Amino acid sequence: MRRCLSRLISAVAVAGALALTGCSTGGEDTPDTSSPEASSQVSTTTTTAARTAAPGEVGTSPDGVTTAVGAPAESTEEEYFQACDAARTWMAERGGDLKAQVEPYLAEIQKSDAAGPGTFGTPWSQLEPARQAAVIVAVEAAADELCG
């Protein structure tokens, strides 16, 4: 079950790394991703293309919303799907650009601190960093319409 989530996280990380590589100004600084060692380095340096935090750190928006957690995401496939689906449903109810709904959704689950499928049945404040990171991954997947 975790294998699917790991594959999704790896795919997002590789896509983010490829997007960043495409923006570089010179070819000589582009990492060689043909070796297994280099590709594993690329996939572990970026959790998502937009929101990252250094290991052990927490990224917050100007409004104080936690938008990144520097920990590897941990959830089961079922938990991931439920969190993604809860976020997607919330975003769809509000309409508009789904990516613009990521921070408001995160603000809502952090402010209410209620237990529900969006936070694996545990209030946000009681989630370990790896579980908070998994919630954020699921919310970003919902905004990208990748819930499955």
Q: Per-domain residue ranges for the chain?
A: 2-143
pLDDT at 48 over 50: no
Q: How far is CA 113 from the centre of its chain?
A: 19
pLDDT at 5 over 50: no
What's the pLDDT tens digit per position in 17-41?
A: 333 333 333 444 444 444 444 333 3
24: number of Cβ within 10 Å: 11
Letter for the amino acid at 60? T
Cα separation of 126 and 129, whole Å? Answer: 9
| Residue 75: C-alpha distances to residues 3, 67, 81, 138 (Å) | 11, 17, 10, 10
What's the pLDDT tens digit per position in 91-140?
A: 999 999 999 999 999 999 999 999 999 999 999 999 999 999 999 999 99
